[in-house]
Structure 1
Amino acid sequence: MDKEKIGSTHVPNTNYATSGLEVEQISDLLMNPEEELRIINEELLRLQARRDYLQKFVNEHRALKSPFRRLPRDIHPFRNIPPLSSIRPPSRTKSQ
């Protein structure tokens, strides 16, 4: 079986049994795509980590722009007190 037939769509996803020579040809055929796939996956992981970092940074700093945070302390002196939910657990469970 030559490389054109190996790469064609009539063989994959069938019950076709490959010979030893075809296995070698398929291995050769897959070498570059597998390497490219590995490189792309590594790049995706790097980009996802960078995206997660930037998203966290933006979310944390966007909150600082809230109009409530710009209120003078004499107008709302309790603005820096954490919400009750962070101090004590809720009295009801999620299933209620």
Structure 2
Amino acid sequence: MSYRRVQLLLTPEQHRTLKRLARQRRKSISALVREIIARELQQENEDWIERTRRVTQDMLAKRGGKPIAVDAVELIRGLREERSDAIAPWATTHRD
């Protein structure tokens, strides 16, 4: 695994705490910080998934359990046609 060097500014108390924890766990401060960051990022991801699930459930509840029926391919096709129609007059009048 490759690493990137970063510089962090810590308060003296944060540094003492990290140093103490690293010593207790027989790890370097860098390894401990990577572990803490990985754990926090994992938690953030899990929180995001849970928020997304709740929003989805709320939307379904408001729609009486019916999912939103959207044909994404057809929606994109329609948007492209609208855009082409809007561009066509401009393109024919602005030729070199």
Q: TM-score range by the shorter chain?
A: 0.3 to 0.5
Name the structure where helix makes up a greater proportion of residues: 2
Normalised to the residue count of structure 1, the TM-score between the two structures is 0.41
